[in-house]
Each structure stands twice: as structure tokens, then as C-alpha cells.
Amino acid sequence: MKKLLVIYTFLLLAFGAYFYHYQINERERQQSETASFSTSLDEKYVMVTFQAGIDYWKPAIKGFEDAAEELGVSVEYRGAPQVDVYEQITVLEQVIARKPAGIAVSAVDAQKLDSTIQQAIDAGIPVVLFDADAPESGAASFLGTNNKEAGASAARQLASLLNETGKTAVITAPGQLNLQERTNGFVETIESYSDMEVVAVENGERDERAAKQAVLQLLKEHPDMKGFFSTEANGGAGIAEAVRSVQSDARVIGFDTYKQTLDLIKKGEMDATIAQGTWEMGYQSLQFLTKLKQNPSARIPKHVNTGVTVVTKENVEAYYAW
């Protein structure tokens, strides 16, 4: 009996010692992981846009955040309040002064941001561009839509709706390279149809009301106008309102997937919109920046086409997710 008691006592002590060391080792492992994660979180990457707070940026920010969670790094979003290059320069300079691990920028102007982006590069901060390019800036990569092809996609959709005949017009805004490329793609594709033409390219000022007024004037000058294309998100709703107000049968193709745009498609007041791969832009931007931070000589693609999809009444529900 005494022998059994001694054996049980020994086993109990052995188990206690094992459990104690297991707890210590597990605590040390968790502390080590936490310390490693905290160190990674000190590596902050910043996304910089213009016109902060609009729906368009939400998928891109989500992609940036999803990549951050996967990579174990910290991210932040900063945006200029308006579509104003000097406001964006100010925001970008403030970000550069904080010396982040990397910056992803959507350029409101294709040239005027070049010197500020170069300041970041000279300071050893990796920079990639997404959505709107500044080709001469020296940034390591551009991730975004092939905007000329996006304009061509809109033209093909409109041509199909109009049985490849009729007058069309573009509502856009000057100064931004991606919008100009969309316009060019649309115009060139429409001109490839023998019975179609683009009779006007008008400035909608990135504003719903301005776009509406531009379209009302065009419909007064060309009552037989059959179709419109907006190269950016705000103009589409203005076009649709103008067409509806004069009871025109003109078809409308918008751009991007604002909720208002999706609602208009559901109601049949807009025929389609062009959806960009904005989540992919944000996600891949951070992937590239972390590679460049770890190895400034890392090879990454100079251009990444994130693709587009034509959204119609048939597939519109899928785009309410954001």
C-alpha cells in the first residue's frame, strides 16, 4: 500500500512539473508571437486618394486592409477632401514627413504629383500607384483598369443596345488621365461602327447637376440622341435624370458601382455601368509595397490590369456587397 502511495505521489509530482513547464513554454510562445506581431504592426503603410469618403474607395480600402491582416502589418487611409491636386499634394507631403513603410497613391493629376511622389522615393519610401496613374512619377508600379479598354467595353455595350446605329455623346471631366483614356477608347470603338457617331464630348465636372445640364443642352441640340456614356461615377446619375426629365429614349452607360448607380440600373433608368477591380487594386498594392520594403530591388510588374465587368440588371445584385 505504501509503495502504491509513493508511486501515485511520484506520478502526481511528475505531471505537475510537466504541466508547469508546459504553461511556461506556452506563455513564452504566445509572448514571442505577440512581440513579433507588434513589431510588424510598427510597419505602417498608407493609402492616399482624393475625394475622400466616397463609395468608390471602399473596395480598394477593404483590399488594402485584407492584405494587411494577411501580412501582419499596419495600414492607414488618408484622402484629400476634394478633387484638387494641391490638396492631395498637401496630404501626400504630410504622409511622407511621417516616413511610412510604403505609400499607395491614386493620382488626381497625371503630372502635377510627380515631384511629390519623387520626394517619397528619394526618402527611401516605396510608392505604387493604383486606379489613376502618373506615368512619369517614378512609382514602382501602376495597378488599375486598362481605361482605354474600359471605354471600349462601354461602347460595345451601348452599340449592342442601339443595334449599332445612332448618335452618342460622352460626359467626362478634363485633367485626369484615366478619364481621357476611357473617352478615347469609347470614341474609337463607336467610330468603328459605320452607322454610329460620337457627336460631343462634354465636361460634366464630376458633378451630377453639371452632367444633367450638359445632357439637357445636348438633347436640345440633338433631339435624336440615342446614347450617353459617363466616364466617371457622379455623371451617370445626372445623365439618367436628364434623359428621364425630357422623356427621351436615349440609353445610358455609367461608370463604377455607387449604390445610386446600382439602384438606377435596378429601376431600369440606367442600362449598365462599368465595374472596376478596385478590391484587387488595394490588395495587390499592399502586397507590392511589402515586397519592396523587404527588398528595394524586388521585381514587381510595372503594370497590372485589374480588369472590368459590365454590370446590367441581370447581375446588379452581386455589386451591392460593398
- For the purposes of burial, counting CB atoms within 10 Å of the CB of 138, is it exposed (0-12), middle (13-18) or buried (19 or more)? middle
Q: Is the dihedral of CA 177, 178, 181, 183 positive or negative?
A: negative
Q: Give the chain's length.
A: 322
How large a percentage of the chain has pLDDT more than 70? 87
pLDDT classification of 29: cutoffs 50, 70, 90: very low
Cα angle: 146, vertex 239, 282; to 5 degrees: 35
Query: Rounded to an integer, what distance in angstroms lies between the CA atom of residue 180 and that of residue 196?
Result: 20
| Per-residue model confidence as pLDDT tens digits over 306-321 | 999 999 999 999 998 7
What does pTM read for this prediction?
0.77
Q: Please, what's the largest Cα pairwise distance for the chain?
A: 110
Amino acid making up residue 111: Q
Instruction: State in words which class domain 43-144+279-305 has.
Output: alpha beta
More confident residue, 16 or 49: 49
Span 147-276 CATH architecture: 3-Layer(aba) Sandwich (3.40)
Kindly list the domain boundaries of the chain, sorted by start residue: 43-144+279-305, 147-276
pLDDT classification of 26: cutoffs 50, 70, 90: very low
pLDDT at 163 (0 to 100): 98
Query: Rounded to an integer, what distance in angstroms lies between the CA atom of residue 305 and that of residue 55?
Result: 21
| Per-residue model confidence as pLDDT tens digits over 157-193 | 999 999 999 999 999 998 788 899 999 999 999 999 9
Pair 240, 301: CB distance under 8 Å: no
Which among 245, 176, 185, 183 is positioned nearest to 215, based on CA atoms?
A: 245
Strand partners, 77: 47
Inter-CA distances, 296 with 30, 128, 261, 291, Å: 31, 13, 41, 8
HEC readout, 106-131? CCCCCCCCHHHHHHHHHCCCCEEEEC
- Helix, strand and coil content of the chain, in percent to the nearest 5, comes to 50, 20, 30
Q: All 3 cell numbers of residue 247? A: 422623356
Query: Rounded to an integer, what distance in angstroms lies between the CA atom of residue 285 and that of residue 38?
Result: 22
Q: What is the mean pLDDT of residues 191-205?
A: 98
* 43-144+279-305 and 147-276, same CATH topology: yes
Strand positions, DSSP E, the chain = 44-49, 74-79, 102-105, 127-130, 142-144, 166-172, 196-203, 225-230, 251-255, 272-276, 303-305, 308-311
Is pLDDT at 77 greater than 70 in this prediction? Answer: yes
